[in-house]
Amino acid sequence: MTRTTAWKAPVWVTASLAAAGALAAWPHLAAAPATPAIYHAPRQALSPNTAPKPNSIRAASFGWSASNWSGYAITGSTYNDITGNWIVPAVSPSKKNTYSSSWIGIDGFNNSDLIQTGTEQDYVNGHAQYDAWWEILPAPETVILSMTIAPGDHMSAHIHNNGNGTWTITLTDVTRNETFTTTQSYSGPASSAEWIQEAPEIGGRIATLANYGETTFDPGTVNGGNPGLTISDGGYMVQNNAVVSVPSAPDSDTDGFNVAYGSNQPAPPAS
């Protein structure tokens, strides 16, 4: 189910009705708020000395924590190619609107640049919503309307530097045999590569994370090879002084991990 924008009457319609005193009879024409833009923001880092820890004996080994990211990120090189696979998680109902995103990207760990693609798993206005998107900051996400996304779908993503100032973003729903690709200009430093479960930014603020249960990122590559993930590349999410999302240790072949809602660290996936 893709996110839609409520219909808003053209200016000439509302103006004419207002002049005739008719807006009181047609209140839906005056009150049709647009769905707020969703941004997949750079990492909002927390101090490792003050952030609460997950319920895990491995918690002290995580390299970072954030108010909006959980998962794995690597730095220390230039990253021109990243791939990732994940399973679209199912969100649980919530009393207020909650949001979650699963994605791969380049940049954003220690800077404000970011090129990325992923899926959205939200619970908004009493309904679960799922869609696919791509994004290059500072613009908000662009929803991929040609793709239908549902819990349990196997997603495969690829972001590649073409070497001429453009990058190609490809996202495939393997389960449904649907593929989207776009080539865009991007000039970020390409100083990090990441596989992330996120609480996105809505209306200028980091959203409350949706209860997404658990999902698996596996396998992933960077610059055409195994990323060689270590536990120190991992990080967990804290909101309202509580741990809300925790990755597992890397799997045995260091190219994947599980990530779970809550404060309990999941076991890694079988390789």
Locus of tokens 């809602």? 261
Tokens of 208: 């409350």
Q: Which of helix, strand or coil describes residue 232?
A: helix
Q: What is the pLDDT of residue 25?
A: 42
Q: What is the C-alpha separation between 158 and 82, in angstroms, rounded?
A: 6
Instruction: Tell me how far apart the alpha carbons of residues 164 and 244 are, in angstroms, rounded to a whole number.
Output: 40
User: Strands, E, within 88-233: which ranges?
Assistant: 101-106, 115-124, 127-136, 142-143, 154-161, 166-173, 178-185, 192-198, 201-202, 205-206, 214-222
Q: Which residue's structure tokens are 């380049």?
A: 106
Give the pLDDT of the chain (271 residues) as one tens digit per residue.
434 333 333 333 333 333 344 334 444 444 444 568 999 999 999 987 788 889 875 556 899 999 999 999 999 999 999 999 999 999 999 999 999 999 999 999 999 999 999 999 999 999 999 999 999 999 999 999 999 999 999 999 999 999 999 999 999 999 999 999 999 999 999 999 999 999 999 999 999 999 999 999 999 999 999 999 999 999 999 999 999 999 999 999 999 999 999 999 999 999 7
Q: Tokens 């495969």 map to which residue?
A: 156
CA atoms within 13 A on the CB side of 193: 24
Query: Distance between CA atoms of 132 and 144, rounded to whole angstroms?
Result: 5
How is domain 40-261 classified at the CATH fold level? Jelly Rolls (2.60.120)
User: What strand order describes the sheet that includes 201-202?
Assistant: 38-39, 201-202, 205-206
Q: Which helix (H) or strand (E) holds 246?
A: strand 242-247
| Structure-block tokens of residue 48 | 């490792």
d(CA 31, CA 70) in angstroms, rounded, equals: 37
Please state the pTM of the whole predicted model. 0.87
Q: Where in the chain is the domain with CATH 2.60.120.700?
A: 40-261
DSSP one-letter code for 263 = S
Confidence (pLDDT) at 58: 57
Which of 130, 88, 124 lies closest to 208 in space, CA to CA? 124
Half-sphere exposure of 208 (CA within 13 A, CB side): 12
Q: DSSP assignment, residue 12? A: H
Residue 51 has a pLDDT of: 86
